[in-house]
Amino acid sequence: MDLVPTALCVYLAPTSVRGSPLLETRPPAPPMPRMSRSTPSLNPDDFPTDRFVLGGDDYTLDCRPGSPEAAGAHVMGVLNVTPDSFSDGGQYVTVEKALSRAAEMLSEGASIIDVGGESTRPGADPVSKEDERDRVVPVIDALTDRFPEAVVSVDTYKPDVARASLAAGADIVNDVTGLRHDPEMAAAAADWKAPLMVMHSMGEPGDLTRPREYDDVTAQVRDALARTVETAEQAGVEQVIIDPGFGFGKSDAENFRLLNEIDELLTLNCPVLVGVSRKSTIGATLGTPDDPAPVDERLFGSLGATAAAVARGATIVRTHDIAPTVEMLKVLGVTLRQR
């Protein structure tokens, strides 16, 4: 006689409230794919201080990846004193309005205020050097007078505007053409011993965002920036900051590939600046290329892209939204230091 209870021989799978089995025989899960790229080790001791610690007697910005001072990255606040910028054109065209916005950005944690007098949006009208100088110099003069502790950069590709801005108190020059429009910009920065930010772009002002052809976007951007850095250093510039030019002549896929491979640019031994704030790629990703998210609804996407770049070694981030970016970077910085 079989004394083994039937209940021990037969297992009935329990069912969900809809009557389908909760436990069923499944094939083993496939192994997780290996990541194609390793996570970069961001040790500040691996980066030379003479190239990564910006400034001198008046200020210092430690831009070594993983450095305690960077705490994720330094935030560069955008201050457009233009009537036609894509995001905030016309809001800060008077000196007092510009100063009020600068005060707000500094109080929220911006390390650098980037003053620009000419829009780089598609279709923007070119601005003469005289008009651009008249826009930015009074603002920089008043800004450095009221906030002497502020680090100020001037966003221009015109050497005459750069020289006038440096004379008014600016600390850094930010050239979106990467010396292509006028190589004399390197001499202007060198004469004032100012750090020089050079962005990768192609074409001339007014045509910088037109899509270009790349076989290997990261390698080509790195090689172009290497040549620009060499040109700047030969002119006497002691500190160069490189910007891969997110949104300038790259497809959405190429922009995101650049973000994921930022650490490959660190082989040039220069701090990396990224500007992804409110860019069209963010809008297209949050919406669609034909129906992108509005400019004022791109904050969270911008924060995600910024975090990706900083996690791979960028240490200066250019943004319109200071407070949320600073908060995100505080948490990200603590996280990265646990690697």
Report, as residue numbers or ranges, the catalytic residues: 279, 318
List the beta bridge partners of residue 151: 112
Query: What burial letters (b/e) apply to 74-111, b meaning 16+ CB within 10 Å?
Result: bbbbbbbbbeebbbbbebbeeeeebbebbeebbebbbb
Q: Please, which residues bridge with residue 78 across strands?
A: 114
Give phi and psi for 307, each to the nearest 5. -60, -40
Of the candidates 212, 145, 209, 200, the one whose C-alpha atom is nearest the C-alpha of residue 175 is 200
Q: Which two tokens stand for residue 249?
A: 């002549």
Backbone angles phi, psi at 192, to 5 degrees: -100, 5
Gap between the Cα atoms of 149 and 123, Å rounded: 36
Rounded to an integer, what distance in angstroms lies between the CA atom of residue 185 and that of residue 177? 10
The pair of structure tokens assigned to 198 is: 């050079």
With contact defined as beta carbons under 8 Å apart, do 115 and 81 qualify?
Answer: yes
CA distance 301 to 292: 12
